[in-house]
């Protein structure tokens, strides 16, 4: 007897033809957030590439510095709220090195941190193997055994070259490591690399107007031409664009450290990236801050809010965000004031990103562009919007508000979708009648 599966019911032989299918369930989900891209000038580490830093990352192995070092202040601020920080080292320098007899030890990365590295070679107490220890700023960070130089294994801090027998040495101290100043080309290389990375928010901790303008142009192109829904956080700009958040003032941390508006872009980028699509950062706290660095009058706050500025205000012994807004202020009938709210924008960006992903992963080239295929895609969009509704990111969706039609060509689809993002309560108007 024949058997198998079927596409059309046209079998010739007698037999059972059975198809197994799964019960329908939505393919698309709401994408995760929490990734920040942070350009920094640091004295050690890979140059011109993004290094992912997460909660369990040992930053000493990457930057040669303690996580509490002043050089990593921006990273600490971004990591307070971000799930992952992509650190891009902007400028390099010369790598520290030292040659002694037939062995050369070179810092793995350029920078002045390399000048704090030393290697000690201890003669064997028994057998033929020497003990080779690497020290970073006086602290041993690596130890290995070998008989000859070519048996040595490069570690996170140094590279070994040379041939021949090892010999005891009290300390091969590296020197000559330098740091270069950040130049225009470093920023251009950064933006070129940023095009190919995946993140939610970019911090731009600089007061260079030309670089900030370059960042605004970059984020506009990524959002509008490439369909990549990112935001950039700068300080003291008024570009009138929803993809740009402008920090207007700084804060003072509990240890007395003053965070400038430029430095605060790292924290705001982390806060923005880490905020879920159903969350507003209005009146959210700046973790670790006890005061604002510039106290604004009520009239000044109102003026800056109208100009689309992201402001910190003081409430008791803590610092909070006045309003979670971006720099868009040029409202039109087609693009209203909802676009200035970052919570609303996160919802819209999520829809744009997720629907594109759903279409490319499950429908593009896989689903017939006929009435049934378009109906299936419509149901998929409805299910996705229901996911947003369940987490209170949008009002309850209505199937009739989603229209999927055939385009002008046989392979194109036109979608008209109406959705109402949910905002957070921010203003209370109450009338009390006293009898």
Domain residue ranges of the chain, discontinuous segments joined by +: 97-173
What's the pLDDT score for residue 429?
Answer: 75
Q: What 3-state DSSP class applies to 343? A: helix
First-residue to last-residue Cα distance in the chain: 90
Q: Is the pTM of this model over 0.85?
A: yes
Q: In this structure, which topology does domain 97-173 adopt according to CATH?
A: Immunoglobulin-like (2.60.40)
With bands split at pLDDT 50, 70 and 90, how would you rate the model's confidence at 29? low
- pLDDT exceeds 80 at position 368: yes
Which DSSP letter does residue 210 get?
H
**Within a 13 Å sphere around the CA of 79, how many CA atoms are in the beta-carbon half?**
17
How far CA 432 is from CA of 95, 415, 425, 426, 428, in Å, comes to: 70, 47, 20, 19, 12
- Count other C-beta atoms under 10 Å from residue 408's C-beta: 6
- 255 in Cβ contact with 341 (< 8 Å): no
What's the pLDDT score for residue 153?
Answer: 97
Out of 146-160, 245-259, 357-371, pick the least confident: 357-371
- 202 in Cβ contact with 233 (< 8 Å): yes
Out of 23-32, 250-259, 321-330, 333-342, pick the least confident: 23-32
**Within a 13 Å sphere around the CA of 419, how many CA atoms are in the beta-carbon half?**
26
Out of 7-11, 174-178, 381-385, pick the least confident: 7-11
- pLDDT exceeds 70 at position 9: no
In this structure, the dihedral spanned by the alpha carbons of residues 388, 389, 393 and 394, taken in order and rounded to 10 degrees, is: 110
What's the pLDDT score for residue 24?
Answer: 45
How far CA 106 is from CA of 129, 139, 162, 399, in Å, comes to: 22, 18, 11, 64
- Axis crossing angle, helix 371-390 with helix 342-358, rounded to the nearest 10: 150
Query: How high does pLDDT run on average in the chain?
Result: 91
What's the pLDDT score for residue 333?
Answer: 87
**Can you tell me the mean pLDDT for 197-201?**
96
**Within a 13 Å sphere around the CA of 151, how many CA atoms are in the beta-carbon half?**
13
Residue among 268, 201, 248, 207 at smallest CA distance from 229: 201
């Amino acid at each position: 007897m024949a058997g198998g599966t079927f596409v059309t019911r046209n079998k010739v032989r007698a037999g059972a033809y059975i198809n197994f299918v799964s019960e329908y369930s939505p393919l698309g989900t709401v994408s995760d957030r929490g990734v920040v891209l942070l350009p920094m000038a640091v004295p050690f580490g890979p140059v011109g590439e993004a290094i992912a830093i997460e909660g369990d990352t040992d930053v000493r192995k990457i930057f040669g510095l303690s996580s509490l070092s002043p050089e990593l202040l921006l990273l600490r601020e971004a990591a307070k709220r971000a799930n992952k920080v992509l650190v891009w080292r902007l400028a390099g320098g010369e790598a520290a090195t030292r040659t002694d007899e037939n062995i050369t030890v070179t810092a793995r990365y350029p920078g002045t941190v390399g000048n704090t590295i030393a290697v000690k070679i201890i003669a064997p107490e028994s057998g033929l193997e020497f003990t080779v220890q690497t020290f970073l700023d006086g602290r041993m960070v690596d130890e290995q055994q070998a008989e000859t130089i070519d048996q040595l294994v490069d570690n996170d801090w140094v590279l070994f070259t040379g041939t021949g027998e090892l010999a005891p040495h009290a300390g091969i101290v590296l020197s000559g490591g330098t740091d270069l100043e950040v130049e225009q080309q470093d920023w251009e290389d950064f933006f070129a690399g940023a095009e190919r990375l995946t993140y939610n928010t970019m911090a731009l901790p600089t007061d260079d107007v030309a670089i900030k303008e370059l960042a605004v142009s970059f984020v506009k192109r990524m959002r509008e031409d490439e369909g990549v829904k990112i935001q950039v956080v700068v300080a003291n700009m008024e570009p009138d664009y929803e993809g740009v958040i402008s920090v207007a003032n700084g804060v003072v941390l509990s240890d007395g450290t003053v965070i400038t508006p430029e430095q605060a872009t790292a924290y705001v980028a982390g806060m923005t990236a880490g905020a879920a699509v159903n969350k507003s950062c209005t009146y959210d706290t700046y973790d670790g801050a006890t005061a604002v660095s510039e106290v604004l009058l009520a009239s000044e706050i109102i003026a800056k809010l109208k100009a689309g500025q992201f402001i910190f205000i003081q409430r008791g012994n803590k610092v909070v965000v006045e309003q979670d807004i971006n720099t868009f202020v040029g409202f039109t009938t087609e693009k209203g004031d909802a676009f200035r709210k970052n919570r609303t924008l996160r919802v819209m960006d999520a829809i744009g990103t997720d629907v594109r992903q759903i279409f490319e992963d499950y429908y593009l080239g896989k689903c017939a562009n006929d009435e049934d295929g378009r109906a299936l895609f419509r149901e998929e969009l409805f299910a996705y919007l229901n996911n947003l509704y369940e987490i209170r990111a949008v009002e309850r969706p209505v199937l009739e508000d989603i229209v999927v039609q055939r385009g002008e060509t046989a392979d194109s689809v036109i979608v008209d979708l109406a959705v109402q993002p949910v905002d957070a309560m921010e203003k209370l108007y109450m009338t009390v009648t006293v009898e």
